[in-house]
Each structure stands twice: as structure tokens, then as C-alpha cells.
Amino acid sequence: MIVTNDISLRAVEPSDVQTMYQWENQMELWTVGNTLTPFSKAVLEKYVKHATLDIYQTKQLRLMIDARENESMVTIGMIDLFDFDPYHSRAGVGILINQKHRNKGYAGIALTLFIDYCFSHLGLHQLYCHINADNEPSQRLFESHGFVQTGIRKDWRKIKNGYIDELVYQRINQ
């Protein structure tokens, strides 16, 4: 577990399946990922069961974000490492904070902890993320954590009314 006074990043537990089921099936969030269809609880249960496998096998890692509220810890989001490439020492990063817990600074704290874990513990050389061009809060979050926009994929993601650009950000471990 990666912990500060108010935030912890922890492994996914079987009890998180219901929360993940609710969040992963919010259609309005599908445009920020590559999701086209709903996730079943069975698929999520299988994912949790295999989450204990080594990152070198799965090439991904999901940690749940817990925050202190009223003297107890509440699960408020998830942070993911994906497309882990041990040869090139790089991976993608994505973060989700539940709607009712946004704009409280939790994403920034969680991202700081996660970056430190990835660079110090996993020994990664770089992290990257892909952000829809209209997602200014995510752009500000990653830019404030040293990520630099390195590219634009034009009309990359299909949305309800057409297509939207995707911005590519990278952070090199210096």
C-alpha cells in the first residue's frame, strides 16, 4: 500500500468489484478509454482474481484510491498503469476519480504518489497518457505533474457528434 495521511493507493480487492462495475459502466466515461461495451461483474471478478499476477506478466496494474473522509477511508477512484513495456521502461497512466469526489485535490495527490512509485520502485524511464482535447481538467492535472504535450492525434476518438483530437503527454524520469 502506498500511503499519505489522507490518500492511499492499494491493491484491488474482491470487495471492489461492485464499485468497479458502477464506474466502468458509465457510458459518459467510455470516450476517455477504449470501451465500447459494458463490463460484466464476471469479467471484473476474473480481472480481480488475476490482479495478483506479476506486472511483467499482465503488463498492467490497477490500484484503488482511498481518501480519508470523516475519520474513515473511502474508495474514491482508480489509477492504472497500462501497456507496461519493461524493455523500454515505459508505461501509460490513467486516473479516474468518482464524480462526487472531484475538485478536492485527490487526483493530484494520487498522481504524485503513483509517479513516485513508478519511477522509484518500478524503475520506469517514462510515463505517458492520452487525453481528449476537450478534457481541460485532465490536461491541467498532468501538466502540473511535469507531463509535457508531445503530440496530437487528429480526429482520433469518435464521439457522439463526430470526432475529437487526442493529446499525447509524456513525463521522462530525470
pLDDT digits (tens, 9 = 90+) for 28-82: 655 556 655 666 767 666 666 666 667 878 889 999 999 998 888 999 999 999 9
Mean of pLDDT values over 2-19: 88
Q: Is position 108 within any domain? A: yes
Q: Report how far apart, in Å, the C-alpha atoms of 52 and of each of 4, 48, 61, 167 are.
A: 23, 8, 9, 32
Q: Is position 29 within any domain? A: yes
In CATH, what number is assigned to the domain containing residue 43?
3.40.630.30
Q: What is d(CA 32, CA 34) in angstroms, rounded to the nearest whole number?
A: 7
The number of distinct structural domains making up the chain is: 1
Domain span including residue 74: 2-128
- With 90 as the cut, is the pLDDT of residue 134 above it? yes
**What does pLDDT average to over the chain?**
88
Q: Is position 151 within any domain? A: no
pLDDT of residue 69: 85
Q: Where is average pLDDT lowest: 26-35, 111-120, 141-150, 157-166?
A: 26-35
Q: Is position 133 within any domain? A: no
